[in-house]
Structure 1
């Protein structure tokens, strides 16, 4: 099945060549789309050179830093327009291991509408994360699961594979979330469309090069939106719809 790995970048000059090479060594039949938000460190220029040397690599140059959600929406639109059947979200910094990619692709190719690479199912793990970061991630997933009845352990997972028909069933233009709230929102939208979500265990590794994009605003957005969505699921008497 025609498969696209979407890798959003902003100031990932130290990582973009390595991650593209690693992905293609593990899964030589896939294509890669680097969606670069006009990185001032030259990430986009590096990606362009990679694309010249390898026809499996493509580059989507965006006007500026608009957030993770906007980058993925643009990547999805590009991939759907170019006929891809499986579209995968993957970080540029190595936190999503290329050697785990096969698990997601096997699940997606078997017909699962959305497959999450999960840290919090049996067999999943994190490496080199401080305890407070792990607590934040686990807490956010638990809160989203309880408020939205998502039925998954790792609602904020950013390593995930969508089938084409899943994305076509979702109104992507209505998904305005950014940061890891975007991941919660996409899981929510998939569930609202009546589609199944599966989780496969992966190992998440803290980045070595560059800086994390996590911020207080990202956490605040997720908390606010999940709370609002959760309340919308309640009828006036407090019963769930």
Structure 2
């Protein structure tokens, strides 16, 4: 069964770390020293997905089925003068808000993240040595937690839709005796599927012979034939391909709704 998950809640965690100060190369004889100390900010955004079964465990908590994490975006920004964190605070805040919006971080947490960046930036600027030109550096790690809960009804509906599409792709095959004559149309030519099969042939899955008069034989679009029960058992194991040639059964069930993830 293809499980369908709906998002139950979304939460954020962020951490602002000070990186090593980058000391610039000594100025050349014709270069002018700038009193400005730039602040370089590296944003790293990752998403953590936790998938839970809809059935509660004995202690009343949801059962974790699967968990994954992926880094979705990284971005470097620079504030020309670290002193702007205090002297041009409103400008810095507006700029950082735009960066967070670009990174698709929910606006409910913008204010807290920006305040953390400003506080840490002021701290490292005050603590850092004033000797020589340099660039102060911060790393802002933002993790977005998505909790997904399996929906039993949607999962069953998705399976019914998938099975209906598979049935449309399969074709009934007639089993005939070895002595019977079969015309060219029934044998199938080129890419046309064969509509008959000899009783001496066997199902590639169970290795049993096809029985004359049986209606339990079907052909896939790739023309390979199986007992209907055998090929459906194969499909139920999530193998949506032909056991012989690996022909893929491309099943399009439409786009999932926002927050729905099938695995």
Q: Same fold (TM over 0.5)?
A: no
Structure showing greater radius of gyration is 2
More helix by share: 1
Higher relative contact order (Cα pairs below 8 Å, separated by 6+ residues)? 2
TM superposition score normalised by structure 1:
0.20
TM superposition score normalised by structure 2:
0.19
